Structure formats: C-alpha cells, structure tokens
Chains A and B, each alone.
Chain A
Amino acid sequence: MLLSEMKEGQEGVIAKVGGAGAFRRRLLEMGFLKGASLFVEKYAPLKDPLEVTLNGCHVSLRVEEAAHIVMEDA
C-alpha cells in the first residue's frame, strides 16, 4: 500500500521510501524512516496535499510525493 492511497484517519508503518536521490534523502532527513509510524491526519480541501503526523509533528506533502512511500499496516 502506498501512502498516497491511504485514507484520512488511517495509520501505518513506513516500509520503504523510494524516489529520486535528493528527494528521497530529504524525506529521510525529515524523519520518514523505515519503521516509523505515521497517521494520515487529513487531505487538503482540494484533495492535495495531505497532512500526516509523524513523531508527534505535522508534516504535509503532495500526493505525488506520498506515492513514493510504501506503507504497511500498523
């Protein structure tokens, strides 16, 4: 399951972070690490971007970017 496919209020654990070099590294640096648990807070009114809670802080990212993050059930 991809993060971009998750629904509002769903919870999961990051299985893999993909994407191109710099972008992937940035996600890692922001704390999107394998094994981190993540909660989908909400989608913006226009369905993009989405807001997730990670380590107690709120981070938003675009749906196309969330499609690089593979999730598994909590």
Chain B
Amino acid sequence: MAARKKLTIALAGNPNSGKTTTFNNITGTRQKVGNWPGVTVEKKEGHVRFGDYDLTVVDLPGTYSLTTFSIEEIVARNFILENRPDVVVDIIDSSNLDRSLYLATQLRELDAKVLFVLNMADLAKDKGIVIDEEKLSSLLEVPVISTVGNRNEGTAELLKNIIQVAETGQGPRAERRVRYSRDIEDGVAVVRDLLQAVEDKDFPYNPRWTAIKLIEDDEVVRDMAVKALGDKAGPILEETARQRERISNLFDDEPEILMTEQRYGFIAGIVREVVKRSSIKRVDVSRNIDLLLTNRILGFPIFFFFIWAMFQLTFTLGAYPQAWIEHGVELLSLGMTRILPSGMIQDLVVNGIIAGVGSVLVFLPNILILFFCIALFEDTGYMARAAFLMDKVMHLVGLHGKSFIPMLMGFGCNVPAIMAARTLENEKDRILTILINPFMSCSARLPVYVLLAGAFFAEKAGTVIFSIYLLGIVLAIVMGRIFRNTLLKGSVAPFVMELPPYRAPMIKSLMIHMWDRSKMFLKKMGGVILVGSIIVWALSTFPNDPQLARQYEIKRQQMEKTFAVRKPDASRQAVKVREMEKDKALAALEIEYTAAAKENSYLGRIGRFFGPVFAPVGIDWKGGVALFTGFVAKEIVISTLGVLHATKDDTDQGLADAMKKSGMTPLSAFSMMAFILLYVPCIATVSAIKQETNSWKWTAFSIGYSTTLAWVVAFIIYQGGQLLGFA
C-alpha cells in the first residue's frame, strides 16, 4: 500500500477575515494550540485526512501585511520562508478586497504556492459588492475559490483545490507580480543581480523578493542575508544603501513608503477590473448596533453591565461547580486516607499531591466560563468596541484598551486574567499586562486581609482592605508607566484597529475556543503545580525528627496514663467530662506537636533564616513561613499562621488573639497585608505567567520585581509608620 502523502498548509489572512473559522471548518476539533517558539504568539495547528493525503494545517497569525511591524508578521513570514509550506491559503475578506489583496501581493512576492479563498461573499453581497472570481484568478494567475466560512460552505471544494495546487501549481509568472515604478525596479534589479551573482552557495531565498525587502530596509531580511552570505553581504548592503538614497532623493520619500503606495496602485487596477458595485442601498447593521453600544452616554453603562455579567458568571456561577470539585477532592483525600496506611506516603498523597493539585483544579470552572465569555466577546466583534471605549483610560497606564478585561478579571483570579491577555495582539502590551496583573488583588488574598484587618483594625477593617486594593491599582499604574518607559520601550504600537462588523457567534467555534484554552491550563499547569506542591510539602515535612516525635509520643502516653488512672469510682457524668477533658488535652498536644514539627522543618528553618529579612518590615518568622507557604495558594497563609501560632480553636478569632499576643501591631499587620498584595503570586499564577510569556526570563523577572517591590513598600509602610508614631 502506498504511504499517505503528507502536505503542510499555511492559512494566512487579515484579522477578522474569517481565517479562524475556516481553520475550524477544515480541521474540526483535531487541533493543537500552543505558542510559536520563543514568542508569545498563539500557534494553532490541526490535522485532517483527505483522500490519500495527510494535511497539517497551520493557522498563521492574522496580519495586514508581511513586514516587520509586529511579532505576528515576523512569525507568519518566517514560517512561510523557513518551513516552506506546500500551499499557502490566503483567506480574503470579500467585503474588503483592497486591503486583503495587499497581503496577497506580498505573499505572491514571496514566491509561495498560493491559493486565494474569497470568504464572506455573502457579506460582500450585502454591501453591494460582486467579485468576478474568474477574472481575479486570471489576472493574478492564482486559483481562486469562494467559501462562506460561517455556514461551512465550500470546505470540501477548498481541500480539493489545496491538493491540486500542491500537486500541479507552479509559482506565478513574473509578469503577474506587482511592478514598481522604473526607478525602483532599476534599484531592485541591481541588488537582485548582485544576489544572484553570489548564488553559488545556494542562497535560500527568492532573490527578487530579497532585493525588494533590502531596498525597503527590512532589518530581519538584512540579518538573514548577512547570515546566509557571510562577508559577501557587505558589498550588497552598501549597494542597497546607495540605491535607497538614490530613490529617496528622486521622490523625496522613503522607498518603503513609495512601494506601499505603488502596491496599492497595482491593487486598485485589479479591483477596478474585478469588482462590480451594485447600487443597492446597503443597510449597515453593525453601524446601527454601534449607535447603541458605543453611544456617548449609554456606551459605558452597557459595557460595565457586560463586564459585571461576565464577572458574575465567572465567579458566582462558577462557585457551584467549584464547590463540587472541592467536595470531590475532599472525598478523594478521605478515601485515600482510608486506603493508604498512615505514614509518609499517605501524607504525601493526601496533603501534598491531592491538596496541591486540588487547589488549582478548583479554578477550572472559572476558566471555562471566563473563556466562554471572552470567546463570545471576540467572535461577535464586541471586544474591539470594548477596547475602543476603554482605550483612553488604559492608555494613561501605557496599555491598550483591550488590557482592561484582563486587568479587571485579576480581581477575581489572576490565572484566567493572565490567560486573557492573549487577546492583545501586541507582544509588548501583552507582557506589560501580564507583569502588572498580579497587583490586581485576587479573591484568594481577600480572606487573608479579612483576617488581619479584622484582628487589628476592628470597625475600620473595610476601609483598610479598600486601601490595600487601591494600593495595588496605584502601583500597577506606576509600574506600568515605568516598564513602558524602560524595559518595554520601543516602537509604540499604534492603536489603528479595525472595528469588524458584528457577527452571530458560532457555538462550535465558542466551544473550541473555550476547550482549547482550558485544556492548555490543565495540561501544562498540572505538571508544574504537581511538582511545586510536592516540593512545598517536602519542605514542610522534612526533616522528620524522630526525637521530636518520640518526645511527643512520651508526653502523649503520660497524658493518657494520667487520665486513665484517676477516680475509678466516678459517676458516669464525671467520666464523660473526664473523657472530654482528655480529648481536649490530646488535641492541644497534637497542635503543639504540629507547630513544633513545622518549626523544625526545612520550611521553618528557611523562615527563621530569613527572619532578619522580614524583621525590618514588621513580620516575624512565623509570618515569614506563612508567606512562603502562600506561594502554593494565598489562602494557605491563614492555615499556616494557624498551625504556627498553635491556636486551639479553628476560628479566626483564636488566631487573631494569638497574633496579637505574639506582638503584632496594626502597623505590622498593615505592612504584612501590603506584602501579601505585592509579593510573588501563587504557583498557579506563576505557571500561567510562564506559559503566557513563554519565557523563564520574564517569569523570573516577574517573581523578582514583585517580591522586591513588596519588601520595599512594606519597609516604607512599617518604618515610615513608626517614624510617624503609629504603633
């Protein structure tokens, strides 16, 4: 039997051209979402069998052009150049032919095997635009077919054509390419000839294309040429510079601008030939919807209502399945406690693995719902409107309008919030949003504030907690501005953004979106969190001091004995009381032992070792240890404090009293709250940062700068407060 033939297909197209819908139609649910290597751009890959072929379909990022304007464009271009897909399918938005053809002409220049897909012909018709498919195909010498992605029309036809192009298609003939004005063509020819002259060592890129890009001063292509040609590149680059100068002097403008204009000139000629505009008076439904949704007065209230609804759905509705999962985890750990013999293994499974992974698993419902809502916003086209409304506010922080949703979601949980930063197209915006997102105080930190503020500020607790939230927002703004002007400086991304027509969402696409992102969360985080939980468990369990255990065992036996011997003639009532006293005393001893064991563990030692670091900010070693364990999940700070302070009753009140006794003051409590707000976020958030930035460097930076900032701010609060005479 003949082996199945493998083909690689790349999908290119403008944002909002229906590229993703086409991708979903071709590949169904068999897709893999990840990142392009080294960058935070989402990469989607899918597989499909068609006839005798195995097709790998790669969804390139949506771009308007193939220059080096954004990381997305570089990624898309490099894929075509380096991986040489068998066919590049360019999805063309029929209702916006000029701009779609701009990308198309660039794909043609790249010398890739191209197939054009006229998508959304129905929308174009509504706009009164009719495109002569055959004429377009013959003018550009590229096969052209029509689809309506939203209705999954023409998908089989598309696959058939892809295979045909792969098997038969040859590169387009030279005369069907964009021709620039004579002076530019002369310059291109000079550079091209130089490139061809050194082609003995197999220059891997099309020489004409390379020459065009060099004349356009494309830094990525320049680097590629230097890499491929070595010291032979020098004279070519010098000649390129001369040609650039000649052209600039002739036209009083940069060559790349002239060439962009001339490409559009070429396109205008094609559009004139193939487009018939009928005189149908078109009703712009989107425009009417926008009269309401971006209305000067109603726009904001409606926006806030949507956001509120999303927040409610995510965290209120999500609380129910969350409770079920929590319950399930509890049952599981109970079951495991029964099945496994008590001892180290049981402790590892129950308190290490199940507790640790369970603490992250509970976020799954939130993430599913949130991503459903975000997919809904994106697929309908509302996300662009949200950015339109909020841009002014977010721009003050140096952010894009679209950053608003991740920032707001951070108040619920930073994990889905950081994942929501994917909606930002620009990499710098995305990293900045991720870096300052943890300062949006998540709901897991609230119980810790409630405990501390409740214990030390009594009736002013509400105000104090509010001030902590405010501190987070202010610092996010300050740090955002600082990063914008230092680390993440560079080409400022213009806001120029399309407001796509509103579209009815497709359930299938919503589901795929929601599931893809959640799957990624479960898979990738599961690993990191599992390891992290085990490490924290080990640190708090070892070294297992047998002497300490023996000491307590002896104490326990003594206690049992004292309770056992006395009063053989006591009444039943007295025995009962006695029993209760015994249980209470044993429980107290148990707590005392746990506290002593924790104190003796590596974690306790680390806490005491770092005692001098925490002292200047008013946190004692117990607080320090609690902060360390807070890395697993912020709520754990409370339970660790409870263990270390060996409180007898489980209520917050007992712990509050114990902390007061230990010498904590309102000032040190406030300092600790600020520290908790700012220092390294929980392990789930850290792994989300790692996943989304796709870089250990940014992850380490995020951990380092936030913890440093936490210490500095807490130091200012504590020392400053003392100077001002607060206790």
- CB B104 to nearest CB in A, in angstroms, measures 13
* Interface flag for B239 (CB, 8 Å): no
- A contact face: mostly helix, strand, loop, or mixed: mixed
Interface, chain A (partner B; CB < 8 A): 21-31, 33-34, 41-42, 44-49, 51, 55-62, 65
Chain B residues within 8 Å of A65, by CB? 494-496
Chain B residues within 8 Å of A26, by CB? 64-65, 69, 494, 496
A59 near B69 (CB under 8 angstroms)? no
Asked, given contacts A27-B496, A62-B494, whether A49 binds B392 with beta carbons under 8 Å apart, the answer is yes
Chain B residues within 8 Å of A55, by CB? 96, 98-99
* Interface flag for B122 (CB, 8 Å): no
Asked, given contacts A22-B69, A28-B261, A29-B64, whether A46 binds B392 with beta carbons under 8 Å apart, the answer is yes
Stretch at the interface among B155-163, B252-260, B477-485: B252-260
* Interface flag for B67 (CB, 8 Å): yes
A49 near B495 (CB under 8 angstroms)? yes
Asked, given contacts A42-B294, A44-B391, A45-B299, whether A60 binds B499 with beta carbons under 8 Å apart, the answer is yes
Asked, given contacts A29-B65, A56-B96, A61-B497, whether A21 binds B388 with beta carbons under 8 Å apart, the answer is no
B260 near A58 (CB under 8 angstroms)? no
- CB B481 to nearest CB in A, in angstroms, measures 17
A–B complex contacts, Cβ < 8 Å, 11 sampled: A21-B256, A22-B69, A27-B496, A29-B67, A30-B496, A42-B294, A44-B389, A49-B495, A55-B99, A58-B286, A58-B498
Bound-state CA distance A47–B491 (Å) is 24
B391 near A49 (CB under 8 angstroms)? yes
Asked, given contacts A30-B64, A51-B294, A55-B98, whether A60 binds B388 with beta carbons under 8 Å apart, the answer is yes
Chain A residues within 8 Å of B295, by CB? 45
Chain A residues within 8 Å of B297, by CB? 45
Chain B residues within 8 Å of A34, by CB? 261
Chain B residues within 8 Å of A21, by CB? 254, 256
A28 near B257 (CB under 8 angstroms)? yes
Which residues in window 96-127 of B have CB below 8 A to A?
Answer: 96, 98-99, 102, 127
Asked, given contacts A44-B388, A65-B494, whether A25 binds B499 with beta carbons under 8 Å apart, the answer is no
Asked, given contacts A58-B499, A60-B495, whether A46 binds B64 with beta carbons under 8 Å apart, the answer is no
Q: Which of B256, B393, B494 sits near A46, CB closer than 8 Å?
A: B393
Interface, chain B (partner A; CB < 8 A): 64-65, 67, 69, 95-96, 98-99, 102, 127, 254, 256-257, 260-261, 264, 286-287, 290, 294-297, 299-300, 384, 388-389, 391-393, 395, 491-492, 494-501
A56 near B127 (CB under 8 angstroms)? yes
- CB A56 to nearest CB in B, in angstroms, measures 6
Q: Which of chain B's residues has its CB closest to A47's CB?
A: B392
Bound-state CA distance A59–B388 (Å) is 10
A59 near B498 (CB under 8 angstroms)? yes
A61 near B496 (CB under 8 angstroms)? yes
Using A23-B492, A60-B499 as known contacts, list a sample of 18 further A-B pairs with CB atoms less than 8 Å apart, ordered by residue number in A. Answer: A23-B494, A25-B260, A26-B64, A28-B264, A29-B65, A30-B64, A30-B496, A31-B264, A33-B264, A44-B391, A46-B389, A49-B391, A51-B388, A58-B501, A59-B496, A60-B384, A61-B495, A61-B496
Which of B295, B495, B498 lies at the interface centre, i.e. has the most chain A CB atoms within 10 A of its CB? B495
Closest 7 CB pairs of A and B: A46-B392, A58-B499, A28-B260, A62-B495, A48-B392, A29-B65, A61-B496
Bound-state CA distance A58–B65 (Å) is 18
Bound-state CA distance A49–B496 (Å) is 9
- CB B161 to nearest CB in A, in angstroms, measures 27
Chain A residues within 8 Å of B501, by CB? 58
A49 near B65 (CB under 8 angstroms)? no
Q: Which of A29, A46, A48, A61 sits near B102, CB closer than 8 Å?
A: A29
Bound-state CA distance A47–B395 (Å) is 13
Bound-state CA distance A61–B495 (Å) is 5
Bound-state CA distance A61–B493 (Å) is 11
